[in-house]
Structure 1
């Protein structure tokens, strides 16, 4: 009798409908532009600061800002470590996203081949300047601020701007295919340490601590994943503190992540990869708080973008910046 009751009880349990499996939360999808200035996302991931904040993240690198913004527009990315210009440019085209915090300041410079004789940006008149694609964020900085304000040059008339990938610029200088280049780290430091080029203008020297890369989140992430974004901003701040307080370890991690190789100096010395990062720190740093002057600079970029015809309508920085979650992250 007992066996029969056990059998009937087991049969009854089997006949009950199965309970639905509890859905696992989807990882927060974080995209980042593959650039040394975005080192905080690398540190936060590899030093497990994201995990220690209780976050599940899926980190994916992208070649440039527009491609990353396309991924965000397609709903493939929740958060982006990206330049400020792609955020507001895509916002002007309908992508509902907001800038939450700063990632870095500095990184860009004008360098010239030693053979060119160029020693100031004003001497770019009539010369060939290698730069990135017209309409890109760095191009806005070059055409809208650097050339007209710091060289008194008309970018359309006074020099020849040649578009090419940033990774090709140093070779173009070496082969006399360009006289100078508007480039960024680590390419600036690689050229300077080799001795093949001279520094003509450190943009961070004339625009002190200007912001470039920022953290942006889609409207959907802001609506549905606010607490996770606060945790991400805390991890981001911890990563910046690590970069500032553990320079030797951080430089090694950066050199490995960006596959930096040793540099052969003009005098035959071999310069370690970590030394490239040390040199880059002279023009590049990290911070998470968007100061009032940062917002003013982003507004200048927006205004220049419209004047240059790269955005179709005027924008105000208040439309694309939301500091509410950053404020919660420090509370």
Structure 2
């Protein structure tokens, strides 16, 4: 057996041997990185924090909010955070580079990303084929918002480098960038998109908040936000990892029956971007996108990998074993209510 098989076997034994609630976490105080916490993409994390689900598990989780998902990945690789809530695609990219980073629970089953043009460009920009030379605002270069815009361009026959990618952050700064004309297009998430839509600032071109929109761009479901970590963290801290997954699974279950009003009342007021009715609409638009099982399907993982291969020349000839990108035993146990 090679090291990866030993890790998998050891994790399975640790996960299924002893009830996790009865065990103490090996690392009860830990740091979690996220890129744009107010975004609805990461709502399950905020739910776990505000509902006290981490504390129920005996965990003290310090959340560091970075400017975008690529920055939180850098923090994990550099060792300044223990775990990350970020895009699933990062696990594929890191596996291709020989770094054993894996997801342990799926939070979003659809990307929830919308690509839109400034309203005054509506007549000129009708599809991704028209993006050449236009400035595209994203949370941060290298993040899932940037990759989705670049994938749309490549699929439309352009090159990923045909339009400049501009980082505009995750909240009010992104709204301001579009309103002030700093960017021509935006590839972003709710509530930013719903705010711009309601104010009449944008024309939506691609919408992956729904299953139909996701299939329209990617041809199938695509895992979105996950909790990911270094495999050796899960190996050394299986109880801690299980407790993190337990808390996030409880968030997903809460979101299955939550009303938009419940969510709006739970999150910090600044998440509403100064417009609570608008935030309610954004939540309603996004509730379909959250994972129901916490586990990405093989078909969905392959869909993501295929899109990355098309987009990134470095991945085009790669051969990533997708089973190594996701440890599903933690989510299975959490889903069973152990």
- The alignment status of 1:61 with 2:54, answered yes or no, reads no
| Rg comparison, structure with higher value | 1
Query: Structure 2 residue aligned with 1:251, among 264, 275, 278?
Result: 264
Tell me if the contact between 2:136 and 2:186 (Cα under 8 Å) persists in the aligned partners: yes
> Which residue of the other structure, out of 143, 148, 154, is the alignment partner of 1:141?
148
Are residues 1:225 and 2:237 paired? yes
* Cα distance in 2, alignment partners of residues 275 and 61 from structure 1: 26
Task: Indicate the residue corresponding to 1:15 in structure 2.
Answer: none
Distance 1:24 1:180 in 2: 45
Per-residue deviation, 1:81: 0.9
1:212 and 2:216 matched: no
Report Cα offsets for 1:14-53 as digits up to 9, x if no partner.
xxxxxxxxx995325241412321111221122122233x
1:53-92 to structure 2, matched below 5 A, reads: 54-63=57-66, 64-92=68-96
Q: In 2, Cα distance between the equivalents of 1:284 and 1:325?
A: 21
Q: Is the 8 A contact 2:150 2:160 kept in 1?
A: yes
Matches within 5 A, 1:117-156: 117-118=122-123, 120-122=126-128, 124-126=130-132, 128-132=134-138, 134-144=141-151, 146-149=152-155, 151-156=156-161
Give the match for residue 44 of structure 2.
40
Higher deviation after alignment, 236-245 or 24-33: 24-33
Aligned residues of 2:85 and 2:228 also touching (Cα < 8 A): yes
Cα deviation for residue 125 of structure 1 reads: 4.7
* Structure 2 counterpart of 1:190, from 179, 189, 195: 195
Number of matched pairs: 295
Residue 72 of structure 1 aligns to a residue in which SS? helix
Distance apart, 1:210 and its partner CA: 2.6
Q: In the alignment, is the contact (CA less than 8 A) between 2:101 and 2:325 conserved in 1?
A: yes
Report the TM-score, using the length of structure 2 for normalisation. 0.74
Distance 1:296 1:29, change over 3 A: same
Shift in alpha-carbon separation, 1:24–1:81, aligned structure 2, 3 A: closer
Q: TM-score, normalised by structure 1?
A: 0.76
2:205 is paired with a residue whose SS is strand
Instruction: Tell me what 2:305 maps to.
Output: 299
1:272-287 aligned within 5 A: 272=277, 274-278=279-283, 280-281=285-286, 284-287=289-292
2:33/2:76 contact within 8 Å kept: no
Native 8 Å contact 2:50 2:267 kept in 1: no
Runs of 5+ in structure 1 lacking a partner?
1-22, 264-270
1:200 is the counterpart of 2:205: yes
Query: Of 110, 113, 121, which residue of structure 2 is paired with 1:116?
Result: 121
For the residues of structure 1 that align with 2:143 and 2:238, how far apart are their CA atoms? 30
User: Counterparts of 1:107 and 1:292 in 2: how far apart (Å)?
Assistant: 20
Against the structure 1 CA distance between its residues 261 and 329, is the aligned structure 2 distance closer, same or farther, given a 3 Å change threshold?
closer
Shift of 1:214: 0.8
User: In structure 2, do the counterparts of structure 1 residues 322 and 286 end up closer, same or farther at CA, with 3 Å as the change threshold?
Assistant: closer
CA distance in 2: counterparts of 1:74 and 1:180, whole angstroms: 32
- Cα deviation for residue 280 of structure 1 reads 4.2
Q: 1:282 to 1:244 in 2, by over 3 A?
A: closer
Structure 2 residue 104 is the aligned partner of structure 1 residue 97: no
The equivalent of 2:168 in structure 1 is: 165
Unaligned runs of 5+ in 2: 1-23, 216-220
